[in-house]
Amino acid sequence: MFESLLCSHSFSFRLIKRKNRYTTTFLVSQRIAGIRQADQILVLGNGTLEGNGTHDVLMKTCEVYREIYFSQFPEERAAYNNESGVIA
């Protein structure tokens, strides 16, 4: 079962959330697609906690998270800049 969870991060997140509805589960991932829907995301950088919150909160408050996100979804940078009023 573990191998099949590694194949699809989004599938693994849905499975973990459904099976562990009443428990706390830590999911370590370098891919944002696998954790984007998490109730709480912790962003670690250089051994320190850089930010925590939901995806939406981190996009507004955590530069490290935004850079990771845009490195994985570069096509969304322009749309984000337009929404937030940032000049690219």
What's the pLDDT at 54?
95
Whether residue 24 has pLDDT greater than 90: no
Q: Is 75 left (phi over 0), alpha (psi -120 to 50) or beta?
A: alpha
Amino acid at 39: D
With 60 as the cut, is the pLDDT of residue 11 above it?
no
In the block, residue with structure tokens 């850089």: 50
Q: Quote the strand ranges of the chain, DSSP E.
A: 41-45, 48-53
Indicate the average pLDDT of the chain: 79
Q: What global pTM score does this model have?
A: 0.70
CA 49, 53, 54, 56 dihedral sign is: negative
List, for residues 52-82, the tens digit of each pLDDT value: 999 999 999 999 999 999 999 999 988 887 7
Q: How many CB atoms lie within 10 A of CB 62?
A: 19
The per-residue pLDDT for 66 is: 94
